[in-house]
């Protein structure tokens, strides 16, 4: 019979190391968290070989006294958690596991000097072997060097990816902490390249610096609360989206987290304004009372449990949806070929300021060269551009007044402040129709327009059955369908707001859409996708000539419609070139 025995401290540490330092990025994260917990105002990280060969983290925090160094590298030794405190955790670390785990799996050299101490002290832990504490050279603060990660745990070393990949993950870990702590200066160097070097700054500047200039230009400020929970930060307009979620920074009480409640809420908020499978760029900060949250879920501490997940979800979805629902006037991405400077974003100080919004002056622009232009410029009606005979006076609307239709596809408008506005008429109208359908459906049912002559549409047998099986639900969407022998469907009515679309391609598309879902929940689950398909069929096509009144009506509707800056597939519907941008393009600035 096998006897039970107690595991050695070294083995326990190596087991814990497997959870705490799963890869170089995790070790880097733990060390930077320690620096932040120590109140550092500057943190410098240098990674070699993606962090697997060497990690160095230097901070100017309060340091560790020589007497405490030996304890710091022992398991379950921490200065951060008193008894009874597990319900209100205010520091990033609290488990006293990181340093012993790193020391068990790698070679850890820790040098520290508390402010006011006459000299620094150092300790080494290599594969669990702890050295004596010795005096050492070093300035105030702490310097942790981790070399040969996993040399003592070869099983784990085999799972290391290419140094470039490990380096990317590690850099990402530092970036996430730098976004969480903008008041601390951060420098991060990866294999000889300076990934970023940022001074202490406000949150808006930090977000702009780390999320990239192009994304930063479309960020919408968020600031809302619900009870004791506050959500703030920035979320991108729907025109900015990425292939992965790597550009999402979620910070809860100062701690970067990956949390399914938050990521699901994000997905729901952006579901129908960006293309499926794409991810928004966000930097969101949630603050809530420490006891409404449990961060002690996993040794890596990046998972958490909310006491009221439904409330948090509602806050995130509500705040983002409201920010995203601004009419198109508020979310037009500026054309900025020169790269441009990053706008100052500060939701706390200017909750209504939107980086993409150009305020329209109340004084109409002077049509200074109107007569001259008339006489001199060869801007005549041609195949490509049709100038409107009598452009409406430039009025005080964010999207301005239509002045021409280009290629029978794009509306060219001029806003009162002189901005040029270019609208993709099909994409824009598709979004308007989609929103109209959605609003009618939410209000009880999509209005039907009976056809003068019911249409017979021939379809593959399975498609016809699929549509007829959902006939009842489709009535709620404004379609009246009946069986008409094998492989045919009789269409008696279509949604009124679609105009008079050709029913055959519309039904084929709907059948495809239904085929993608499973039987029972088919329509409900894909309702919005179905509405989007309908909208596409009911929208004015590219290539259709529009009257001026139609164009202006479209612009006004766009301003009044939620999510109108992108079409139902997430592409932009409108581009805007401001006077300043035009002047820059012409080298006048
Ligand atoms: P935890 O952070 O959970 O307390 P660690 O193993 O990461 O556990 O660190 C152990 C202790 O060592 C900390 O509680 C802290 O007192 C001290 N320490 C670690 N790193 C630093 C640092 N950079 N500056 C000051 N003290 C530190
Ligand atoms: Mg720690």
For range 322-337, the mean pLDDT: 58
* pLDDT over threshold 70, residue 374: no
Residue 134 pLDDT > 90: yes
What pLDDT shows up at residue 452?
81
pLDDT at 127 over 80: yes
The DSSP code sequence of 76-141 is T--SS--TT-TTS--SS--SS-HHHHHHHHSEEEEEEE-TT-SSEEEEEEETTEE---EEE---SE
Atom of ligand 1 lying closest to residue 30 CA:
7
Least-confidence region, from 162-166, 183-187, 261-265, 548-552: 548-552
pLDDT category at 362 given cuts 50, 70, 90 is very low
Question: What is the spatial distance between Cα 114 and Cα 140, in angstroms, rounded to a whole number?
Answer: 6
Question: What is d(CA 566, CA 424) in angstroms, rounded to the nearest whole number?
Answer: 10
Ligand at minimal distance from the CA of 73 is: 1
pTM: 0.65
Give kind and range of the element (H or E) at residue 155. helix 154-157
- Neighbouring C-beta atoms of residue 514, cutoff 10 Å: 22
Give the nearest ligand 1 atom to 101 CA. 6
Quote the DSSP letter at residue 298. S
**Distance set, CA 169 to CA 13, 20, 93, 172, 299 (Å):** 24, 15, 20, 5, 18
Q: What's the 192 CA to ligand 2 centre distance in angstroms?
A: 26
Percentage of the residues of the chain whose pLDDT score is greater than 90: 41
Residue nearest to atom 7 of ligand 1 (CA): 98
Q: Spell out the residues 6+ positions from residue 429 whose beta carbon is closer than 8 angstroms to its own.
A: 539, 540, 554
Q: How many CB atoms lie within 10 A of CB 179?
A: 22
Answer whether 327 contacts ligand 1 (Cβ < 6 A): no
Q: Which ligand is nearest to the CA of 70?
A: 1
Give 41 Cα–ligand 2 centroid separation in angstroms: 17
- Which residue out of 30, 61, 70, 99 has the highest number of ligand 1 atoms within 8 Å of its CB and is therefore the one to mutate? 99
Distance 299 CA to ligand 2 centre (A): 11
- Tens of pLDDT, residue by residue over 462-507, are 889 889 988 988 999 999 999 988 888 999 999 998 888 889 889 9
How far apart are alpha carbons 80 and 89 in whole angstroms? 9
- Would the CB of 35 count as within 6 Å of ligand 1? yes
When pLDDT is averaged across residues 211-236 and rounded to a whole number, the result is: 86
How close is the Cα of 302 to the center of ligand 1, in Å?
17
Q: What share of the chain is helix, strand, coil (3-state, %, to 5)?
A: 35, 25, 40
Cα of 7 from ligand 1 centre, angstroms:
24
28 Cα: distance to centroid of ligand 1 (angstroms): 13
Output the CA 506–ligand 2 centroid distance in Å.
59
C-alpha 306/C-alpha 300 separation (Å) is 17
How do residues 341-361 score in pLDDT, each as one tens digit? 333 333 333 323 233 322 222
Mean pLDDT of all residues in 362-380: 31
Among the bound ligands, name the one nearest to the CA of residue 78. 1
Distance CA(235)–CA(286), nearest Å, equals: 13
Give just the sign of the alpha carbon dihedral 454, 460, 466, 468: positive
Q: Which residues contact 302 (CB under 8 A, 6 or more apart)?
A: 255, 256, 257, 258
Find the 266 Cα to ligand 2 centroid distance in Å.
Answer: 29
Tell me the pLDDT of the chain averaged across its residues. 83
Please tell me the predicted confidence (pLDDT) of residue 378: 35
pLDDT for residue 389: 67
For ligand 1, mutation pick of 26, 30, 34 (most atoms within 8 Å of CB)? 34
Residue 62 Cα: closest atom of ligand 1: 25
Atom of ligand 1 nearest to the CA of 97: 6
In angstroms, the CA 299 to CA 322 distance is 36
Name the residue with the closest Cα to ligand 1, atom 13. Answer: 78
Q: Helix/strand/coil (H, E, C) string of 347-412?
A: CCCCCCCCCCCCCCCCCCCCCCCHHHHHHHCCCCCCCCEEECCCCCCCCCCCCCEEEEEECCCEEE
Are 296 and 89 in contact, with CB atoms under 8 Å apart?
A: yes
């Amino acid at each position: 019979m096998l006897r039970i025995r107690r595991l050695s401290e070294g083995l326990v540490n190596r087991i814990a190391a497997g959870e705490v330092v799963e890869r170089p990025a995790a070790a880097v994260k733990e060390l930077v968290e320690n620096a932040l917990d120590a109140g550092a105002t500057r943190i410098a990280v240098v990674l070699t070989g993606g962090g697997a060969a060497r990690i160095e983290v230097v901070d100017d925090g309060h340091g560790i006294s020589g007497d405490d160094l030996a304890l710091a590298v022992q398991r379950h030794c921490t200065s951060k958690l008193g008894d009874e405190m597990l319900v209100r955790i205010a520091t990033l670390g609290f488990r006293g596991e990181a340093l012993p785990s790193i020391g068990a799996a790698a070679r850890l050299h820790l040098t520290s000097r508390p402010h006011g101490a006459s000299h620094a002290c150092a300790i080494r832990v290599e594969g669990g072997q702890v050295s004596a504490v010795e005096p050492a050279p070093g300035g105030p603060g702490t310097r942790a060097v981790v070399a040969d990660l996993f040399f003592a745990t070869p099983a784990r070393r085999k799972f290391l990816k290419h140094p470039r990949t490990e380096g990317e993950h590690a850099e990402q870990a530092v970036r996430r902490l730098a976004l969480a702590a903008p008041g601390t200066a951060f420098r991060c160097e990866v294999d000889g390249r300076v990934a970023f070097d940022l001074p202490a700054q406000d949150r808006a500047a930090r977000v702009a610096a780390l999320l990239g200039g192009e994304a930063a230009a479309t960020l919408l400020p968020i600031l809302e609360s619900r009870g004791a929970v506050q959500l703030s930060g920035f979320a991108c307009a729907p025109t900015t989206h990425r292939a992965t979620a790597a550009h999402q920074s979620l910070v809860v009480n100062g701690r970067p987290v990956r949390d399914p409640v938050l990521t699901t809420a994000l997905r729901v908020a952006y579901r129908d304004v960006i293309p499926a499978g794409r991810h928004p760029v966000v930097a969101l900060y949630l603050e809530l009372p420490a006891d409404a949250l449990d961060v002690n879920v996993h040794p890596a501490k990046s998972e958490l449990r909310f006491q009221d997940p439904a409330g948090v979800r509602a806050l995130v979805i509500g705040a983002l949806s409201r920010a995203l629902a601004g009419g198109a006037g508020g979310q037009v991405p500026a054309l900025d070929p020169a790269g441009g400077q990053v706008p100052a974003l500060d939701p706390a100080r200017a909750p209504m300021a939107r980086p993409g919004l150009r305020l329209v002056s109340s004084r109409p622009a002077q049509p200074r060269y109107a007569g001259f232009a008339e006489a001199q410029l060869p801007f005549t009606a041609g195949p490509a551009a049709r100038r409107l005979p009598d452009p409406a006076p430039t009025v005080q609307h964010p999207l301005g007044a239509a002045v021409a239709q280009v290629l029978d596809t794009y509306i060219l408008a001029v806003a009162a402040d002189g901005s040029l506005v270019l609208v993709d008429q099909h994409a824009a109208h598709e979004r308007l129709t989609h929103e109209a359908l959605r609003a009618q459906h939410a209000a009880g049912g999509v209005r039907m327009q009976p056809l003068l002559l019911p249409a017979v549409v021939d379809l593959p047998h399975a498609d016809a059955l699929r549509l007829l099986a959902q006939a009842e639900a489709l009535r709620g969407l404004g379609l009246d369908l009946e069986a008409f022998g094998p492989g045919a469907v009789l269409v008696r009515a279509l949604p009124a707001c679609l105009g008079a679309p050709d029913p055959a391609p519309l039904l084929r598309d709907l059948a495809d859409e239904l085929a993608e879902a499973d039987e029972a929940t088919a329509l409900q689950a894909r309702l919005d996708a179905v509405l989007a398909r309908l909208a596409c069929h009911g929208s004015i096509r590219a290539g259709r000539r529009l009257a001026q009144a139609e164009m202006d009506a479209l612009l006004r509707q766009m301003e009044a419609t939620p999510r109108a800056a992108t079409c139902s597939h997430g592409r932009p519907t409108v581009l805007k070139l401001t006077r300043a941008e035009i002047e820059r393009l012409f080298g006048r600035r």
